[in-house]
Chain A
Amino acid sequence: MNTIQLQKDAAQAQQQAGGETICSITEVSKTYTGGFRALEAVSLDIEKGEILALLGPNGAGKTTLISIICGIVKSSGGTVTVDGYDVSRDYRQSRSLIGLVPQEINLEPFETVSNTVNFSRGLFGKPKDAAYIEKVLRRLSLWDKRNDQIVTLSGGMKRRVLIAKALSHEPRVLFLDEPTAGVDVELRKDMWEIVRALQADGVTIILTTHYIEEAEAIADRVGVIDKGRLLLVEDKTTLMQRMGTKQIRIELQDELTSIPDGLSHYELEIDNSGNALIYTYDPSGGRTGITSLFSDLKSAGLVLCDVQTHQSSLEEIFVDLIKAQT
């Protein structure tokens, strides 16, 4: 599948989604001082209240895109608006709507949790609100650590502090740049719960990740970036149905050396062991051929021991997409 077709499909999927746009990115490009072109005319509409996962290998341009939206990096071309406010011209309004959880653990090591979170709230132009900060700290299991210096916290707790800082000014759009990089499985699942809870509160969430299972677990839509180009943006379930394949593994009692004549018109392969048949089909199609296959298997005199199904993961779809570009 070529890039143009993928982008057309992505645009069509967005139109079909029909949600209210909170962040609109139009033809944004970025060339760094050294000449490295990090983004190539990226266009994307982010819908209010959704969780969008931006997937891509290292150096794909995910962090650059987020940095441009948040005002950390200047774009070389294109426009970005957040709730209708241009991020360059109306930077005060647009930035006050955004919270950013950076990829690196960037924290003042000798400050206390409470001070650093209150600092962030003030920085974003909000007056002190002890009740709200307490709510955020409690939600992130940081309340008991509020008077501890950052340097004494574990890596996972530091990640939570970053989220608390990003939430301190009550943002409507939250960017999470690789939020679970390097954290253990338990904490990762905790983070996913936090993200889901924020979405339930109406916060729009954009997360970059190269953990495919993260996108698979929590995202509503998935965008794939590679070499500065947005290859697609699509509803996760639709994407997995459209580009994913499904397989049935049929364990047999007797070993097979070739596909029996009556089954040659099916997409069947013999497993390396010879004791199983693999049937690949398109789950999005109306007729999968499963009923007739099982009927023909019986007619061919094959005795079945077990049946297993397998669906392509987002990871397999992602790898196929990136391979198609190279």
Chain B
Amino acid sequence: MNFHAVKAIYVFEMSRTFRTLLQSVVSPVLSTSLYFVVFGAAIGSRFAEVEGVSYGTFIVPGLIMLTVLTQSVSNASFGIYFPRFIGTIQEILSAPISSLEIVTGYVGAAATKSFLIGLIILATAHLFVPLRIDHPVWMLGFLVLTCLSFALFGFIIGIWAKNFEQLQLVPLLVITPLVFLGGSFYSISMLPPIWQKVTLFNPVVYLISGFRWSFFSEGDVSVSLSLAMVTLFLAICLGTIMWIFKTGYRIRN
């Protein structure tokens, strides 16, 4: 294992985060705070309780997931796409470093960044609404797994994208709608029966449900199913990345 190389990539990527602190951290925290003000305080105050908690509190796990998912994907996709775009990927490819080590460096940094943002949003939420976390270890576990699996997904997008437009395409047209329709702001039990069935095809439902369970011990699907779905998604992403490096898809040809 080339630890120096993994550390070099990780530190280099994290230093980019600290260099662009305003857009990396302040921006997602500010937009999430606005969600709390609008949905939690203004509109949410007129709603009845959902699953035994106030609406403002209910949307906290969903809001964290919304930001963590989009940040994981965009951080990791940008992290690997930018070296491809400016050509510094050549240096990575010519270094004595395995595919696994490259992925560990880039995905580790992207996941760390979104994990920290998730925690900052959680702290911010605490300022707006009363919070309780019934299963804190599971909460952290779900957060880490989600950050990792979606950072891996972002890494794939960063390899696949041929231009900046494609880089933005998946987070905008796929991730955001899936998160909004995955129960971020509602419980799927509030949907008509037919839509409850349709929404089960949305993988994000399982993430949000599991994450919400770790807060309030209530979820739309069982926690074991949620965990299995996250693990499955993680395995699919890892398999795809292994194939990318084995074939050199869009990087070595």
Contacts and interface: CB of A to CB of B under 8 A. Distances in A.
Interface bin, chain A = 35 or more
Contacts of A126: 4
A109 B85 CA distance: 12
Nearest to B105: A123
Q: By CB atoms of chain B within 10 A, which of A91, A102, A125 has the most?
A: A125
Interface bin, chain B = 20 to 34
Contacts of A98: 94
Interface stretch (A65-73, A228-236, A276-284): A65-73
In terms of DSSP, what is the predominant structure of the interface of chain B? helix
Given A32-B253, A108-B86, A72 B93 contact: yes
B165 interface: no
A118 B11 CA distance: 11
Contacts of A93: 96
Given A110-B19, A125-B5, A71 B93 contact: yes
Interface in B81-114: 86-88, 90-98
Given A106-B88, A106-B91, A125-B96, A74 B253 contact: yes
Pick the 3 closest A-B CB pairs, nearest first: A122-B8, A106-B87, A95-B96
18 contacts: A67-B90, A72-B90, A92-B2, A92-B98, A100-B91, A102-B90, A106-B86, A106-B88, A108-B88, A115-B12, A115-B15, A121-B8, A123-B95, A124-B4, A124-B95, A124-B96, A125-B5, A165-B91
Given A73-B253, A123-B92, 10 more contacts: A33-B253, A71-B93, A72-B90, A72-B93, A98-B94, A100-B90, A106-B86, A119-B8, A123-B95, A125-B2
Interface of A: 32-33, 67, 70-74, 91-96, 98, 100, 102, 104, 106-111, 115, 118-127, 165
Interface of B: 2, 4-5, 7-9, 11-12, 15, 19, 86-88, 90-98, 248, 252-253
